[in-house]
Amino acid sequence: ETGVTQTPRHLVMGMTNKKSLKCEQHLGHNAMYWYKQSAKKPLELMFVYSLEERVENNSVPSRFSPECPNSSHLFLHLHTLQPEDSALYLCASSQNNNYFYEQYFGPGTRLTVT
Amino acid sequence: GNSVTQMEGPVTLSEEAFLTINCTYTATGYPSLFWYVQYPGEGLQLLLKATKADDKGSNKGFEATYRKETTSFHLEKGSVQVSDSAVYFCALSGGSGYALNFGKGTSLLVTP
């Protein structure tokens, strides 16, 4: 148990559906992250929030929309996805001051787009 | 920019064998270095870390030493168990940007 929870753990959705992934951290951290992990590919950083502001967005398609309502919660809203978006989506959090420390990961949401 | 290079897997070992997974890095400044482990069906867990040159991180029998002269952070374990079967990721922080730079991961399979 890392102190970062993600729901749902598994999600199957059609290309026309809208769904949301939820992440919650219980560690008192001030930064949260979304990563995409696809088979045979390196971890891809998608979004970074620091103090509830988006500070990094790595050319992610607009069909992925993040939301960070407070420092403990992070959402990833999904709409009109493509089959190649099927992957494990990992949330992480860290305590960032002037120096960036280790990140703690949730168990991930396994997304399948049909 | 910063980057991490890990040895290609998969690595297959018999139980009680010695493990080394190589990791080298390129970075400006003074990064911190990490090893993460991912068990099947789970997220990444921090295994160990080192924040400055010559530091040794250790946990659960795993060790890695931050070698600035060779820009390396190799993971070692003296006697692996079947339960160590997982994917191991080397990572660094401290460069520009907010995220960790991860290696591609090395898959380890330990057989009885």
Report the pLDDT value the prediction gives residue B2, as an integer from 0 to 100. Answer: 83
Q: pLDDT tens-digit profile of A8-37?
A: 999 999 988 899 999 999 999 999 999 999
CA distance B18 to chain A (A): 26
Residue A36: strand, helix, or coil: strand
In the numeric block, which tokens belong to residue A84?
Answer: 């190649």
Return the number of CB contacts < 8 Å for A and B. Answer: 52
Average pLDDT over residues B102-112: 94
Higher pLDDT: A38 or B1? It is A38
Report the pLDDT value the prediction gives residue B88, as an integer from 0 to 100. Answer: 97
Going by the DSSP 8-state scheme, the letter that residue B6 receives in this structure is: E
Confidence of residue A38 (pLDDT cuts 50, 70, 90): very high
- Rounded distance, CA A108 to CA A112, Å? 13
In chain B, whose CA is at the least distance from the CA of A1?
Answer: B45
Distant-in-sequence, close-in-space partners of B20: CB < 8 Å, separation ≥ 6: B74, B75, B76
Q: pLDDT tens-digit profile of B50-84?
A: 988 999 999 999 999 999 999 999 999 999 999 99
CA distance B45 to chain A (A): 7
Cβ B46–A102 below 8 Å, yes or no?
yes
Residue A46 Rama label (left phi>0; alpha psi -120 to 50; beta): alpha
Cβ A107–B46 below 8 Å, yes or no?
no
Give the DSSP H/E element, type plus range, for residue A50: strand A44-50
